[in-house]
Amino acid sequence: MGDNRNVNLPPGFRFYPTDEELVAHFLQRKAALLPCHPDVIPDLDLYPYDPWELDGKALGEGNQWYYYSRRTQNRNTSKGYWKPMGIDEPVVNSNSSKKVGMKKYFVFYIGESGPAGIKTNWIMQEYRLSDSDSSSSSRSSKRRGGHSKIDYSKWVVCRVYERNCSEEEDDGTELSCLDEVFLSLDDLDEISLPD
């Protein structure tokens, strides 16, 4: 899984972008219809695929998969659905502290949407441009004469991974305190209190 076979990177190079790099380097260029070098993240309509089917379709690096998709409210797949967790988190420029985008967490549930769904360890981080960036990207593509029916400002870039439940195995991915709080909030509905 995720053996880097669909990426044209030189030996020894790995694809581990920061949140800021995903938004500022990849997503902003995609939304503005500008080339991105290296052009390694594929376009993928996420929602027909369950997360374990991403290998070979999305850019795989380690236990993480990356792809561009259209932003949509329907996050249902053939076997389940992506449920939002917590609130949107800003992605900021490390030099200017200016907000460049937003990040939202989703967890994958197997089954029908609602209380019958079975929670899995699959997590998706969906990155989108902040509203001001989206509208400026849309205007810039119109200025270049793009009469496309596709609104490129609605693209998102997604990072999907299976969360490791064992604390002994460390995959090198560190979660911020805020990330851990968001992930734990979703577990509250599984806790039963004594009468």
To 10 degrees, the CA torsion angle through 29, 33, 34, 38? Answer: 70
Average pLDDT, the chain: 78
Rounded mean pLDDT, 121-148: 65
**Residue ranges per structural domain of the chain:** 17-134+151-162
Distance CA 134, CA 155 (A): 9
Output the pLDDT for position 187. 56
What's the pLDDT at 13? 79
Residue 92, pLDDT score = 94
The better pLDDT of the pair 38, 32 is held by 32
Q: What residue type is assigned to position 95 of the chain?
A: N
For the stretch 55-113, pLDDT in tens is 888 988 888 999 999 888 878 888 999 999 989 999 999 999 899 999 999 999 999 88
Closest CA to 4 of 61, 50, 43: 61
- Greatest CA separation for the chain: 66
Q: What CATH architecture applies to the domain 17-134+151-162?
A: Beta Complex (2.170)
Higher pLDDT, 143 or 80: 80
pTM of the predicted model over 0.75: no
Q: Is residue 50 packed enough to be buried (19+ CB in 10 Å), middle (13-18) or exposed (0-12)?
A: middle
pLDDT of residue 167: 46
151-190 per-position pLDDT tens digit: 556 899 999 999 987 644 454 555 555 555 555 565 555 5
